[in-house]
Amino acid sequence: MGKSKELAELGDAVTVDGSNIGIGTGSPAHPLDVTGTIRSNVSTTGDLNFYATSTGGGSFRIYPDDATTANPTWQHQSNSNEDQAWVIGGVERMRIDSSGNVVVGRTNVNTFDVVGHGFRSDGVVSHTADSQAIAYLNRETNDGDLVVFRKDNSTVGSIGVFSSDNLGITGSASSHAGVIFGTNQVLPASSGTYADAAVDVGNTSNRFKDLYLSGGVHLGGIGSSNKLDDYEEGTWTPSYPTGWTGDSLYATYTKVGRFCYYNAKIFVDSTGSGSFYVGGLPFTNGIYAKTHGGQMFEQVTLSTSRTQVVGFTTVNSNSHEFYQLHNTGGSWSGLTSSHLNSNSEFYIQGVIVTS
């Protein structure tokens, strides 16, 4: 009776309607129905607590019920210049600091090495995860962009999906290149889609350094005849017939496809029996017999009626052989100790056609 009298003495400020109490309203619809501003003033420290005592589950809400058509802005407002933190289960889960930065899972927006998310008020975001993927981007139904990149609010490129499961990184401007990753293939793209014979690798001022291939290169076409499958540079070690000794300089070779170009300077140190030749060529001559080479020589005495020396490599051989030509078309003959001495020198070069 005393409490009812106290409420009655408040006059129009408080309305009691059954079990509902209204403050600032004459028709309360809830146990406590307030029209106006509610203020809790704590002089030092304290809490404004909302307790949910039900143990049956369900949802408990702070519910802004906008019943008007004016669409007002509902504000969670602090007039002081401190951070605001959301704590769940006694652990801080999210914070809005005094500069307007939003932090989830950590307390400082700029600690990039701490697991969590940071959303800075200047537009910079950061995400850190430990031993797992940082982000999952999923596009349903069809091919297209997963991420779009813009500069000055104009699209400059994207990362997307092509042909159901090919990842692509493409530029959006006309004739700008990109790459699409297919099944064991890296495919060229231009203007945001697949491209054929339209994209260069580097240019005159911006070149790649080295290219490592285990297969070949198709040049000028896509057929097997356009495939260059071997290029090699190196040195080789000349050898001589039994009983002959010699030395060499500049014994190098270059192999392009099936063709091997070789050269060397040969010094005869001592002569032996039989015809002289230079063995040890870097590859064996294939199905083409008598692949001709050239040579210059010093301290070589030719037989009578012999005018020049020719060199060639016979089929299935890796030796550069020397023969004297007869000036009237007679038979060929090799170079022996009667033609050479310890001061004889040869500059040889030739071509091997491998099988």
Pick the closest to residue 33 from 19, 44, 54, 46 (CA basis).
19
Q: Which amino acid is at 330?
A: G
Which residues lie across from 181 on neighbouring strands? 167, 186
Residue 40: the pLDDT is 72
Measured in degrees and rounded to the nearest 5, phi and psi for residue 225 equal: -70, -15
pTM of the model: 0.66
| CA 344/CA 355 separation, integer angstroms | 33
Pick the closest to residue 181 from 198, 162, 196, 201 (CA basis).
162
Tokens standing for residue 243: 């009983």
- How many residues would you count in the chain? 355
Residue 2: the pLDDT is 45
* Other C-beta atoms lying within 10 Å of the C-beta of residue 179: 14
- Is residue 76 a contact partner of residue 82, using CB atoms and an 8 Å limit? no
Residues 6+ apart with CB under 8 A from 155: 148, 149, 172
The number of C-alpha atoms within 13 Å of 12 and in the hemisphere containing its C-beta is 0
Residue 302: the pLDDT is 82
The order of strands in the sheet holding 125-128 is 84-88, 91-96, 102-104, 116-119, 125-128
| CA 268/CA 343 separation, integer angstroms | 6
Tokens standing for residue 223: 């057929």
| CA 339/CA 162 separation, integer angstroms | 73
Residue 304: the pLDDT is 75
DSSP letter (8 states) at residue 221? S
Q: Parallel, antiparallel, or unpaired for β 20-23 and 32-34? A: parallel
Mean pLDDT by 10 residues, the chain (355 residues): 52 82 89 84 62 62 62 71 86 92 94 95 96 95 95 94 96 92 95 93 94 89 89 95 94 94 94 94 81 78 78 89 77 86 91 88
| CA 244/CA 276 separation, integer angstroms | 8
| CA 305/CA 331 separation, integer angstroms | 11
| CA 26/CA 14 separation, integer angstroms | 8
Residue 1: the pLDDT is 41
* SS3 of residue 243 by DSSP: coil
DSSP letter (8 states) at residue 238? -
H or E stretch including 346?
A: strand 345-353
SS (H, E, C) 9-45: CCHHHEEEECCEEEECCCCCCCCEEECCCCCCCCCCC
H or E stretch including 188?
A: strand 185-190
Long-range pairs of 210-214 with CB within 8 A, sequence gap ≥ 24: none
| CA 315/CA 139 separation, integer angstroms | 63
The CA-to-CA distance between both ends of the chain, in Å, stands at 117
**CA 314 from centroid of its chain's CA atoms:** 49
**CA 330 from centroid of its chain's CA atoms:** 67
